[in-house]
Amino acid sequence: MKSFRFTRRHYFSIALIGILYPASTTFAQEITSAYVDSIVEHSMELMPQAGLAVAVIADGKVIHSKGYGVTSIESGEKVNEHTLFSIASNSKAFTTMALGMLVDEGKLGWNDKVTTHIPEFKMYDDYVTEHFTIVDLVTHRSGMGLGAGDLMFIPDGHNFTVDDVVKSFQYQEPVSEFRTKYDYNNLLYITAGEVVARVSGMSWDQFVEQRIMQPLEMNRSAGYRETLKDNSNVAKPHSSEGGKLTLLNEYQDPNKLFGPAGGIYSSVHDLSKWMLMHLNSGKDISGLPLISSENQHKMWKAHTMMNFSATPDGGYRTHYKAYGLGWSLTDQMGYTIVSHTGGMPGMLSQVLLIPELNAGVVVLTNAAPGGYSYYAITNTIKDQLIQAKNRDLIGEMSTWIEDIEEMAEEVVDEVWKTVKKASKENINSEDYLGTYRDDWFGEVTVSEKDDKLIFASKRSPKLTGEMFYYKANTFAIKWDYQEMNCDAFAIFSLDEKGKAQRIEMKGISPSIDFSFDFHDLDLQRIKE
């Protein structure tokens, strides 16, 4: 099996598979546990996976909740419906839920200016700063680019704080006009979590755990890995690249930075309760409203249009794709599909709801890419629920992954072949040595050790690695951190004396995760 480097960038491409691949003519069979087992078995046969868990809701009832595989290839502990996984960006809907509850209480308004609650909040433009609302924080229409500023939280081991995040936006370069284009943004969700904290008087994780999880009896779930009450039965992250499972280090977030955008740990058992609450218009397990139906429904209203066609396109007869408040929205076969995916190193997930059918699916996995089982299993079951025409989505995903992988590997291999052949004769290492600074990312150094050039970030120490001469004034950096595919180019600008003054960067692999936004850095030499 060829290796594949996971990147959330592919989430957007995956959404097109229903259009690109032809469907067969037979309609779906009834959803049963045996049927779900068969789908999972098919997935685990095609691609190496550690563990996963699946829950299915039909007609407002949980009809399947089960684990498969292992929490860790070292321990061999079996996954069950109570196994905790990182749900990553599926945490975002908990943040918008918290905001909605505060709106219900009259402590917050959706159209409040962010500066009303965070006076030091400042965007790249004064007009945008003055008009930026709570809804703007959570609908990916800021004008900033895809994943802008994500290097402040990934990889882990950094020392960035919420204050640093709030101050960072003024230094970002917009890629579109405010409120005109969808570009996924994590840092604004971190800011939304800070709004929750300042308005409620509770930290974001305390609010989510006490005000949402406790009433829903999500007893094992928590806002952060670090705040779990019970550390048993927790899935560990794995890589499945190269057809071999490798145990990865768990993401650490001791500063509690990333939670509102992607910090929650939960199980399919607990998330079933979360899904049922949404399907029941915001009522908790006792039938009492946890959030008003008005604000629960507002989460599923299209706020940012991603795509629209008056003529239905593809096998699903889809007209639109949009983003609500912490949820993605689309129509398929006449049904509204409400969903979100999540991805952290070695952890992938999807939560999907079909309100009209009172149905839903959640899949949590602990290996990446794992055949994109989180997506393929979820959407295979969804296709049965909406009676879309059958196809082997799991097999299609496997083929698609191999194609993408092959293309990416060719590009990366060619870079390192060029490095191996490159001559350093005309390179004076001293011209590149020094300290460089980006306004939002902070300082990096280029130093020499044992005749090797070393690039090191001061605030994100895992972004340290040897620099290899590539071409012209460009070096390829091989990071010490190899848990995700993020090796990068460093492109130097020289003055008239040949001394480096500036560094621009970009990822080497075309499959690099969008959170490695090296291209957004503008590293200027600090004058000595």
- The shares of helix, strand and coil residues in the chain, as percent rounded to the nearest 5, are 35, 25, 40
Rounded CA separation 268/273 (Å): 9
Neighbours of 110 (CB within 10 A): 17
pLDDT tens for 231-254 read 999 999 999 887 789 999 999 999
What pLDDT, on a 0 to 100 scale, did the predictor assign at position 222?
Answer: 98
- How close are the terminal C-alpha atoms of the chain, in Å? 51
Q: Tell me the whole-structure pTM to 2 decimals.
A: 0.93
What pLDDT, on a 0 to 100 scale, did the predictor assign at position 2?
Answer: 34
DSSP labels, 477-519: EEES--SS---EEEEEEE-TTS-EEEEEEEESSTT--TT--GG
DSSP labels, 98-166: HHHHHHHTTS--TT-BHHHH-TT---SSHHHHHH-BHHHHTTT-SSPPTTTTGGGTSSSS----HHHHH
Rounded CA separation 481/465 (Å): 8
Rounded CA separation 247/243 (Å): 13
Q: What is the mean pLDDT of each run of 10 residues along the chain (528 residues)?
A: 39 37 38 95 90 97 98 98 98 98 98 98 98 98 98 97 98 98 98 98 98 97 96 95 89 96 98 98 93 98 95 87 98 97 96 97 93 90 92 82 82 95 86 98 97 97 97 96 94 96 97 95 91
Three-state SS for 52? Answer: strand
Phi, psi of 58 (to 5 degrees): -135, 135
What pLDDT, on a 0 to 100 scale, did the predictor assign at position 397?
Answer: 80
Q: Which of 449, 406, 413, 455 is nearest to 434 (CA)?
A: 455
Rounded CA separation 253/107 (Å): 29
- Structural tokens at position 304: 């940012």
Three-state SS for 23? Answer: coil
User: Domains in the chain, ordered, with CATH?
Assistant: 10-406 (3.40.710.10), 423-525 (2.40.128.50)
Phi-psi region of 31 (alpha: psi -120 to 50; beta: other; left: phi over 0): beta
What pLDDT, on a 0 to 100 scale, did the predictor assign at position 24?
Answer: 31
Neighbours of 302 (CB within 10 A): 18
Please give the distance of CA 73 from its chain centroid, rounded to a whole number: 24
Q: Which of 356, 384, 350 is nearest to 370 (CA)?
A: 350
Rounded CA separation 515/483 (Å): 14
What pLDDT, on a 0 to 100 scale, did the predictor assign at position 315?
Answer: 85
What pLDDT, on a 0 to 100 scale, did the predictor assign at position 528?
Answer: 67
Q: Which of 182, 242, 227 is nearest to 2 (CA)?
A: 242
CB contact burial 309-326 (16+ within 10 A = b; e otherwise): eeeeebbbebbbbbbbbb
- Structural tokens at position 149: 């500023």
Cα dihedral across residues 510, 516, 517, 518: positive or negative: negative
What pLDDT, on a 0 to 100 scale, did the predictor assign at position 204?
Answer: 98
Strands (DSSP E) contained in 190-250 are 238-239, 246-247
